[in-house]
Amino acid sequence: MGSVDRLREDRELSCRVLADLITHAPSTYPNLRLLLRDFQTKAEGLPAGAVSPFIPSILSRLLSKEDSRFVDLLTRGRPRLGGETRNRPKFDVAVISVINEELLASKIVFGVPLDKDEDYNIGGYRYWRTLLTRKGGKTLDIVLTMAGERNVQCAIACERLFTNFNLGCCFLVGIAGGHKKYVKLGDVIAS
């Protein structure tokens, strides 16, 4: 056994433990971000199949509506590694896409010039802001971003998004497959 193997425990076991800790962390846990970072580090290099079983429970933990207290804590900002508590910009809607083509499509739909630099760059994640005028003249503040492929990346990007901005709601938007009996190219599916 090489010295590297002697140093650390199996990464998949680490991910399993961290997923359990994140899922069961109380809403008052002082620094959930660190647990997520640890999960991200341990998941790096593991095949997607080894990590994906843990993602639903982590995401449900982060997005749980019942646990509003936690979401409130997370999004309002606490002392955290690498950053300070800040006043977060408020948006009515966040639109997340996974791949670049989907982001470009979102920009076109929401009227963001394709050559426009991002409005925020936080920890390497880029965000574009735009306004959508509704019937009656009211406007919606919208933020667009891209999460990147793979479930872990997506979970981290979501967590960053919720931490950095005060959001009304969030949509994952992108290309989907479907049964040709029920849908055809160009249809919009919401689930």
Contact set with another protein (CB under 8 A) = 3, 6-9, 13-14, 16-18, 20-21, 30-31, 34-35, 37-38, 40-42, 78-84, 122-123, 164
Nearer to another protein, 85 or 139 (CB): 85
Measured from the Cβ of residue 26, the count of other Cβ atoms closer than 10 Å reads 10
Q: Can you read off the two tokens belonging to residue 91?
A: 């948006």
Nearer to another protein, 17 or 170 (CB): 17
**Least spacing, CB of residue 108 vs another protein, in Å:** 28
The greatest distance separating any two alpha carbons of the chain, rounded to the nearest whole angstrom, comes to 69
Nearest CA-CA partner of 171 in 62, 98, 81, 100: 98
**Least spacing, CB of residue 11 vs another protein, in Å:** 9
Query: First and final CA of the chain: distance in angstroms?
Result: 49
Nearer to another protein, 23 or 132 (CB): 23
**Least spacing, CB of residue 93 vs another protein, in Å:** 22
Residues 145, 94 contacting (CB under 8 angstroms): yes
Nearer to another protein, 83 or 148 (CB): 83
Q: Can you read off the two tokens belonging to residue 121?
A: 């760059």
